[in-house]
Structure 1
């Protein structure tokens, strides 16, 4: 019978008898994990997961605690029949810089776990440095997992130099939640309960919808928590900017190429969205949530990962993909993905067992969907069981239009880059910096990052 131990803390010291990480490896790993833009955090101690030991054990490092951690345990338990004779041993590390630092340094020394969870947006800071090994796609196919089982928008980010370096577990997009009774009173729902996307299909219509929600609620319309937040401003901006049909060209060394007029147009819309007339003005992440839960607003712009929080306050809470405001469908998102930390001489049998275990976990993704995440393995989202999930099935289409952070080494989840972009945006949304000046400030900050040599 497969044994699933509870999560344990990672050791703060390298395993005795293993070779130490080289000075070059430490430098490259620290550069990758800090994602320095305006200065990175201090390095955490490097943990270790022994490659030796019980050959039936697949050692996994992840960043899921709380409800998500319990759900991952359940997912692995349900996956047992598809990985006979294998046990997955989890090590849970602290989210953010501590996790990515530890993963980078363990990989640099060839002492990482068999498999680890990473945000897809961080791949560009790891694969080019040789910190990861590629997945064997033929072996994954043998266990029933193929490229065509994933949305192209997600799978395209798994590749580096024609090799697959990440296998996505989910897509977690930035979406909209709403109270159905308020939205219906505001005339913003279709007959089957879906959000009327046409009512949000331009900046003017989106703002008018906010006014209708405010009238229907008797309070305010749309909540967005961005004040002093390290990512929310960027998430909203980048999804909207990509909806204009533009992207950033970020050549190594710079300068960045972008459409400043389109950037300013998006920022001007964001200013109006939080001008305090219809929608709340000065909300941080943690005050936006109770503003919505207490029905002070009819809608909130947030990540699907908050589904459990919102459903706890309103069991009938509605959700929808982020509306297409600027013409081109695009939804800001990231993806929890499985990666293979570098091993100088990987054991073929252990690697085969790891591929089998991850394939089994993906096929059990219906469990993971309960957290709100969209399972990346699309056969799961095509089942009747998934179609009955409310409101998850109503925003699953967002996976077809997701956009992740630019594929550069300093960007991605938990990076100083996101924080710096959000700071620049806050100067405009909260302090009144003009949209064109805010756009130029963002480009200046991006050029600062590009001017720093890539550690690859």
Structure 2
């Protein structure tokens, strides 16, 4: 297929009455923050793209995840030294809009990439858009937390159906009953997740909070009205599980994964990005039990699961040439068409044609938990929220200590409200 860049160059030559010469090669400078299995898969995609294209070559650079990455993006774009394309967390979009670091994606841009907004899940397009509806990035995936579980341990119990999926968990009481049963069966930490703070605790808290239809921000106010009670309830739930020994004490991220793979937890709530970890252990014969993953059950008022998206963004560079922009859009379109390979990292592609394909239906457990795309609860749309934000700091400093008994849930929620509100006022 002729690339957008090649079409543009050919059209320019024809308009000038010239024959079309051999296309000059465009180098696209690419930045991402992808490590581990994500990084391996993305590098493979870049290598495949480069092998297929003579006229465009991606020069990829992987930078440190989190605040260092976004600081470098902000400073580099400000002085006109940013990349041509970069990966971006959509939870960071509100801050990106304030900083002015992104170039809007027009309908014409999408057409050049061979895409349309209708190709993507509604939740991801909404997360990628400014308040006025302007598209600011192109979603690549929806990555959320899921319930990884020990099928072998649950075999023959009331919590596993005939297809091997979790069942019978329709309330917090149902899940607590399962965890207590697992404790009695010898699982030292029945439900593992990153309990020391950080992303793991935020994702658990926010899932429970949003399942109550909780809103962290309402018209610029933090935890307005009964949202304070919903936050307290979410923290209290986690604190109660900790006091019963149903979740681990201050488990670091790696330790929480090891608790599950080592057979000490029957459930592990973590991101879809750990799916390859458990698949690899299964293939190597080191896991020791049959494993699977489902969407986190609805236990409260509505289905909701913490989620974010990796997206492709174009820096706000007024000096970018038309040829380079066309090449960047060709890269974005190609990546979407090859997003089944990215799904191997556990992510749900944001590109619906991939998720609706027969090939994706055979990809397990991904196809089973793809339903969560309709229940994705993205971080609040605010400059204080998203990856490496003040909200994450509040989790580390307030919610995690409350889960472990150092603060009451009421104290933690009130202090979080006060600290975050001060950043908005």
| Match of residue 15 from structure 1 | none
In the alignment, the residues of structure 2 paired with residue 209 and residue 320 of structure 1 have an alpha-carbon distance, to the nearest angstrom, of: 16
Name the CA shift for 1:141/1:184 in 2 (closer, same or farther; >3 Å): farther
Cα shift at 1:125: 0.6
Residues 412-431 of structure 1: per-residue CA shift (max 9 Å, x gap): 11224212223211221112
Between the aligned partners of 2:189 and 2:35, the Cα distance in structure 1 is 34
- Which residue is 1:57 aligned to? 27
Q: CA deviation at 1:139?
A: 2.9
* Aligned mate of 2:224, from 244, 257, 263: 257
CA contact (8 A) 1:214 1:298 kept: no
Aligned partners of 1:179 and 1:299 also within 8 Å: yes
Aligned residue in 1 for 2:272? 304
1:407–1:420: structure 2 CA closer, same or farther, 3 Å change rule? same
C-alpha displacement at 1:432, in angstroms? 4.6
Number of residue pairs aligned between Structure 1 and Structure 2:
396
Q: Post-superposition shift, 1:200?
A: 2.2
Deviation at 1:79, TM superposition (A): 4.4
* Residues 186 and 212, structure 1, Cα contact 8 Å, conserved in 2: no
Q: For residue 33 of structure 1, what is the aligned residue in structure 2?
A: none
| 2:398/2:407 contact within 8 Å kept | no
SS state at 2:143 partner: strand
Per-residue deviation at 1:250?
A: 4.8
- Greater shift, 307-316 or 183-192, is seen at 307-316
- 1:386 alignment counterpart: 360
| 1:221 and 2:165 are equivalent in the alignment | no
Are positions 1:89 and 2:59 aligned together?
yes
Contact 2:94 2:381 in 1 (8 A): yes
Q: Determine the C-alpha separation between the residues in 1 that align with 2:365 and 2:145.
A: 14
- Tell me what 1:11 maps to: none
Question: In the aligned structure 2, how far is the partner of 1:450 from the partner of 1:408?
Answer: 9
Q: CA separation of 1:431/1:289 partners in 2, compared to 1, >3 Å: closer, same or farther?
A: same
Moved more, 299-308 or 428-437: 428-437
List alignment gaps of at least 5 residues for structure 1: 3-53, 452-456
- 1:212 to 2:181 alignment: yes
1:296-331 deviation digits (Å, cap 9, x = unpaired)? 111111111122223333454211112212121111
1:166 corresponds to which residue? 137
* TM superposition shift of 1:402: 0.9
Contact 1:275 1:281 (8 Å CA) reproduced: no
- Which of 349, 355, 358 is equivalent to 2:329? 355
Deviation at 1:366, TM superposition (A): 0.7
Partner of 2:302: 328
Question: For 2:404, which of 402, 413, 430 is the aligned residue?
Answer: 430
Of the structure 1 ranges 180-189 and 392-401, higher mean CA displacement relative to structure 2 is found in 180-189
Deviations 1:129-176 (A, max 9, x none): 321111122332343321111111111011113311011111110111
For the structure 1 residues 120 and 272, does the alpha-carbon distance in structure 2 shift closer, same or farther, using more than 3 Å as the test?
same
Q: Which consecutive unaligned segments of at least 5 residues does structure 2 have? A: 3-23, 284-289
Map of 2:38 onto structure 1: 68
Q: Distance in 2 between matches of 1:181 and 1:270?
A: 26
Residue 203 of structure 1 corresponds to: 172
CA contact (8 A) 2:50 2:58 kept: no
Match of 1:115 in 2: 85
Aligned equivalent of 1:14: none
Distance 1:292 1:338 in 2: 33
Counterparts of 2:64 and 2:405, CA distance in 1: 33
CA 1:215–1:146: 2 relative to 1, 3 Å: farther
Say which SS state the counterpart of residue 73 (structure 1) adopts. Answer: helix
Counterparts of 1:255 and 1:323, CA distance in 2: 27
Give the distance between the partners of 1:449 and 1:416, measured in 2 at CA.
Answer: 9
Residues 214 and 145 (structure 1 numbering): CA distance in 2 closer, same or farther, change over 3 Å?
farther
Superposition map of 1:129-278 within 5 A: 129-160=99-130, 161-196=132-167, 199-216=168-185, 219-227=188-196, 229-251=197-219, 254=221, 257-258=224-225, 259-278=227-246
Of 368-377 and 278-287, deviating more is 278-287
Q: How does 1:11-22 map to 2 (within 5 A)?
A: none
**Would you say the 8 A contact 2:306–2:378 is kept in 1?**
yes
TM-score by length of 2: 0.87
After superposing the two structures, state which structure 1 stretch, 73-82 or 387-396, moved more: 73-82
Confirm whether residue 293 of structure 1 aligns to residue 261 of structure 2: yes
Q: CA-atom RMSD, angstroms?
A: 2.3
CA distance in 1, matches of 2:305, 2:242: 20
